[in-house]
Chains A and B, each alone.
Chain A
């Protein structure tokens, strides 16, 4: 055997497994589909689908535009912009004005991601940056909930305006969180004794994709089964939120099930890029994000605190990353 071979020389290892970044991103999108479909079904196609499509289109479009402006190779095929767009769209209220997802998508991609250097470099969760910009700029548009009449809460301030979309009777309604913040959880429970069950299955108005705990958890379990996410951050998030809720004299379960807590804990706080890589750091991150969410909900100016709870802890990630496990062989040995 003396024939000349053209041999490739690289350093070891010479095997790679099949997992790729786009595969991971596809799994996340798949995991969000149950909640997405439920949101579209619950609020109706006309008031949700366009918002979601505009949001995803906006993040993809703005990322492409950014690549063009900064002469970078087109990065939209990695799939991360789709997730950002989907998460943003799902966190908007149904019947949002068309420009809301467009502006939010632009903010998410430019301010949240590309200004830091693109995928993997950003400190803050891009979807939450987009949402935060919208929340502080257009609080009214971000908290007006048009829902079909039977699901609204009447008798609390913030609701009552009525209109008709595509033949369906619609009213604006406050969310359970704003009712709880203004009137206390007990009056909400009086108004609707089955509130926790309705929150769990997703029959209480809220942002498009955040209403059904059930479908969000199904998606999360899928990701966990696929080995894409770990339960450490969601669990510690719920613990942090529950502690604050209980200290504030409210139902921990109500706080976990309402608003964007489950979406935030399972799909936003677990974002690879903006959560700590250190195991210890991840528990602190989850606890902190959950606790801040609770404090904002109970004491803050906003009825919802998921966005700023997670964004605040995002800022601590570079520090939390350094909480390394004990060095191999330095820990006291046994055996």
Chain B
């Protein structure tokens, strides 16, 4: 099998054996869910309900008049218990709606979407937005924005991202195996919405079952589609790297895949879109992986948004070892959590519970080039790290610090255990702050 890939990157252990063979279990409706009013990349939402209101499952409960945003729907039938600050897995604390389950199970479903290939793309984009769809790979960028080509730009290729390169995570893999027909429905909606002529499905070769499954299924699609087996390498699932691996095109600095005529969507996003087309349910549930050596019974779970992490840990049987770190997302780009009270949000691909802190003695940089070889964006992380350390932010900007997507490969390989990604993150923040102020100071 010829395997596509991108230059750079790292071969870390995948740790997928904890959950790769575990079928998706549906998590029972919790007694309450907590829904932060910002679950996507973009503008925060305003609630459409108030304390004491009764809501149905699938009912829209928050929205905002902004292009880069996606509305929020209630994953439960119940009562709005309050709107107040609560733990947020990325933002620390943020205003959130709490909904208490009343057990009635009342639902509000949209009509199934049929005759997809004859729908107006603009209608489909609005339909996608109304479903609250965002990228479920982790970045949670609103999907309708991703499938809206700017005026004058033509989208020729749609890439379905089934790479799932983050260690530990297997939710996309399980979705590909167990929810494949809904994925294809969603794919048809997304392709119609963006106007692409052909489709590639990128899957890392360690997910052989998914590759074989889609190899068979793509033949029935109404447009040319092909599965592209990818080398198992991190960050293969990064949009820009996936486009390089499959098409050899490079997204310009600060640009989007749209700039090279490509739309990339995660397989789980396609599943969520397909599910809405088939069942009329908006984005109110997603599949996540709970994994790590600390967990008694690691699982792939289909959970309602807003489910609190401690409930999920109980479902997985608690600890075999007390975790020292709890990470939302994978261990390469995920965010360390301060509390088990955080809720699942749209961008939650999983939680990983680590007892190994990977402590390594720190040494001065010996200029070994490992970070340079690992950087998928052709940056010199060691140089950027030094600029950051010495607060030489203008030099960092001139040496393309903003091209960094913080994949973490440089920190991972550094034999001196220098936190390069962290230093670069600091420099990026400062460079952006200065450019907003429109000058140097």
Q: Which residues of A contact B (CB under 8 A)?
A: 1-2, 5-17, 19-21, 23-24, 78, 80, 118-121, 230, 272-273, 275, 277-278, 321, 324-331, 333-335
**CB closest residue in chain B, given A18:** B360
Contact B413 A327 (CB under 8 A): no
Given the known interface contacts A19-B415, A20-B415, the answer about A120 and B334 at a Cβ–Cβ threshold of 8 Å is no
A107 smallest CB distance to B (angstroms) = 21
Contact A14 B327 (CB under 8 A): yes
Contact A326 B378 (CB under 8 A): yes
A327 smallest CB distance to B (angstroms) = 6
Task: Give Cα A328 to B252, complex, Å.
Answer: 7
Task: Give Cα A96 to B216, complex, Å.
Answer: 74
Query: In chain B, residues 295-340, which have Cβ atoms closer than 8 Å to a Cβ of chain A?
Result: 310-311, 313-314, 318, 322-327, 331-340
State whether the Cβ of B116 lies closer than 8 Å to any Cβ in chain A: no
B382 smallest CB distance to A (angstroms) = 7
A319 smallest CB distance to B (angstroms) = 13
B321 smallest CB distance to A (angstroms) = 12
Q: Which 10 A-B pairs have the closest CB atoms?
A: A13-B408, A120-B364, A329-B252, A335-B248, A16-B358, A1-B313, A14-B331, A329-B250, A1-B310, A21-B363
Contact A14 B413 (CB under 8 A): no
- Chain B contact residues: over half helix, strand or loop, or mixed? loop
Contact B252 A330 (CB under 8 A): yes
Candidates A9, A11, A23; contact of B415 at CB < 8 Å: A23
A244 smallest CB distance to B (angstroms) = 27
Given the known interface contacts A12-B406, A14-B331, A333-B260, the answer about A7 and B248 at a Cβ–Cβ threshold of 8 Å is no
A276 smallest CB distance to B (angstroms) = 9
Candidates A14, A16, A21, A334; contact of B336 at CB < 8 Å: A14
Task: Give Cα A1 to B311, complex, Å.
Answer: 7
Contact A8 B324 (CB under 8 A): yes
Contact A272 B366 (CB under 8 A): yes
Task: Give Cα A322 to B127, complex, Å.
Answer: 49
Contact B338 A9 (CB under 8 A): yes
Candidates B314, B332, B357; contact of A13 at CB < 8 Å: B332
- Chain A contact residues: over half helix, strand or loop, or mixed? loop
Contact A334 B249 (CB under 8 A): yes
9 cross-chain CB contacts under 8 A: A7-B337, A11-B336, A12-B408, A277-B382, A324-B380, A328-B253, A328-B378, A330-B253, A335-B248
Task: Give Cα A15 to B327, complex, Å.
Answer: 11
Tell me the count of chain B residues lying within 8 A, CB to CB, of chain A: 71
Task: Give Cα A296 to B99, complex, Å.
Answer: 81
Contact A333 B369 (CB under 8 A): no
Contact A19 B332 (CB under 8 A): no
- How many A-B contacts at CB < 8 Å in the complex? 166
Q: Which residues of B contact A11 (CB under 8 A)?
A: 336, 419, 421-422, 425
Contact A331 B333 (CB under 8 A): no
Contact A5 B382 (CB under 8 A): no
Contact A328 B380 (CB under 8 A): no
Task: Give Cα A14 to B324, complex, Å.
Answer: 11
Contact B332 A328 (CB under 8 A): no
Candidates A12, A24, A272; contact of B335 at CB < 8 Å: A12
Task: Give Cα A245 to B368, complex, Å.
Answer: 31
Contact B318 A13 (CB under 8 A): no
Task: Give Cα A305 to B361, complex, Å.
Answer: 38
Task: Give Cα A331 to B367, complex, Å.
Answer: 26
Contact B366 A120 (CB under 8 A): yes
Contact B368 A272 (CB under 8 A): yes
Given the known interface contacts A12-B332, A15-B332, A277-B383, the answer about A20 and B413 at a Cβ–Cβ threshold of 8 Å is no
Q: Which residues of B contact A334 (CB under 8 A)?
A: 248-249
Given the known interface contacts A12-B335, A277-B369, A324-B380, the answer about A121 and B250 at a Cβ–Cβ threshold of 8 Å is no
State whether the Cβ of B438 lies closer than 8 Å to any Cβ in chain A: no
Contact A8 B357 (CB under 8 A): yes
Task: Give Cα A225 to B331, complex, Å.
Answer: 29
Candidates A13, A324, A326; contact of B333 at CB < 8 Å: A13
Query: In chain B, residues 237-253, which have Cβ atoms closer than 8 Å to a Cβ of chain A?
Result: 240, 247-253
B418 smallest CB distance to A (angstroms) = 10
Given the known interface contacts A120-B364, A324-B399, A333-B249, the answer about A7 and B325 at a Cβ–Cβ threshold of 8 Å is yes
State whether the Cβ of B110 lies closer than 8 Å to any Cβ in chain A: no
State whether the Cβ of B411 lies closer than 8 Å to any Cβ in chain A: yes
Contact A14 B325 (CB under 8 A): yes
